[in-house]
Amino acid sequence: MKRISLHRKTRFGSSKGVSTVIATVFLVLTVFVLSTNVFLWTLSQNALYNQAVKERNQQDVDRLIENVVAANATYWVPSTGTVNVTTVLVNAGSISAQIVTLWVLDATQQKYNVTDLRASNINLKPGDRRLLTRVVQIPGAISANVFNAWIVTARGNKVNLAEVQSVIIANVAQGIGSMAMDFATFGYYTYVAGSSTKLTNYPTGTVSFNIPAGIYVAFRANIRNLDLRKQNITLDSHSLLWQAGISGGGSAWFIVNVDDNKDGTGTIKSTYTPIPIAYLETKTVIFASFKDLGLASFQQLKTPQTGGETFPVFLLLHGTIGASPYAQNIPFVSIFIG
């Protein structure tokens, strides 16, 4: 009986030792696995941190080397509270740039507005050049106010819009009036065969100071409002182009409205609607009628039958500037009839 009891005690003690060893092994394995997981998690978090730092540094570098230039900005107000902004954007940097917002400040009133440009997808590759034109609503804005504007890129860079410098030109224009003409684009139109109202090669026309003799023509001139008071100018039906005669007399082509037919031709309207020109706006004005359309119906007019002569030409403009009467004579043009 004693041997059996001793044998049982020995087996029981041996089993308990094995369990302890196994438990210890499992504990060590658990600690190892947990330590390994913590170590791997730490490594992954450190890698994510390093990647985030790297990306942030790259963003900072990209922001510093981004170079968008905005030049030749113009601001004009066709109606109270509406500001038209035009500028030329140039990507002078080595990386692409996206324009996301346009801010416009009426410095006179200390009011501003912002336009979201993201939907327009204005992405500029290196060397790209883009004309940006937007209409921004600022209550109470008028042409005489002072405006500032800037754009913001997707990287957060602010680019001021440099306003076109026209002070010298405006001062010269003010000596003869508030309107100036682009002499380099002066020209004329001929008529479609068989038509007395449809102009050919419209709206381009023929840019020239040499005009064929004895044909029906319409003259074109690009004129710009440079009024120092920044007022709108509206041309009425009394405006005309006068070709003076060498020995007196001469011919007059009165102002007209023309519909663009979108097929390379334009049709002269039988009645006249006054043409408004906002401050710093340039418009093409057509002179074609033998008589003032505010007083009579439209008729074509020919150039002189006799060729081989040079004639002085004057733009005699009439209408309103702001709410006041306006009139101006723009000389300095001559045409050769040949």
pLDDT, mean of each 10-residue run, the chain (338 residues) = 48 61 78 80 83 79 88 83 90 92 93 94 91 92 87 93 56 66 92 96 93 96 86 96 83 97 96 92 94 96 87 95 93 89
What local confidence, expressed as pLDDT, does residue 170 receive?
Answer: 45
| CA–CA separation, 16 and 38 (whole Å) | 33
CA nearest to 335, candidates 306, 300, 302, 309? 309
| CA–CA separation, 282 and 260 (whole Å) | 18
Q: What class, spelled out in words, does domain 68-160 have in CATH?
A: mainly beta
CA nearest to 200, candidates 255, 293, 283, 263? 263
What local confidence, expressed as pLDDT, does residue 16 receive?
Answer: 59
- Long-range Cβ contacts of 263-266 (<8 Å, 24+ apart): 264/200, 264/201, 264/202, 265/192, 265/198, 265/199, 265/200, 265/202, 266/189, 266/198, 266/199, 266/202, 266/203
Determine the longest span between alpha carbons in the chain, in angstroms. 159
Q: 């033998």: which residue's tokens?
A: 290
Cβ within 8 Å of residue 200, ≥6 positions away: 189, 190, 191, 192, 264, 265
| CA–CA separation, 304 and 301 (whole Å) | 10
Cis peptide before 139 (omega within 30 of 0): no
Question: What are the Cα distances from residue 319, in Å, to 165, 323, 332?
Answer: 27, 10, 21
DSSP for 39-50?
A: HHHHHHHHHHHH
What local confidence, expressed as pLDDT, does residue 248 receive?
Answer: 66
| CA–CA separation, 125 and 258 (whole Å) | 39
Positive/negative CA dihedral, 87, 88, 93, 98: positive
What local confidence, expressed as pLDDT, does residue 10 receive?
Answer: 47
Which CATH number among 1.10.10, 2.70.50, 3.30.1490, 1.10.110 corresponds to the domain 167-337?
2.70.50
What local confidence, expressed as pLDDT, does residue 23 receive?
Answer: 76
What local confidence, expressed as pLDDT, does residue 197 receive?
Answer: 97
Parallel, antiparallel or unpaired: strands 210-211 and 324-337:
parallel
Q: Are 115 and 151 in contact (CB under 8 A)?
A: no
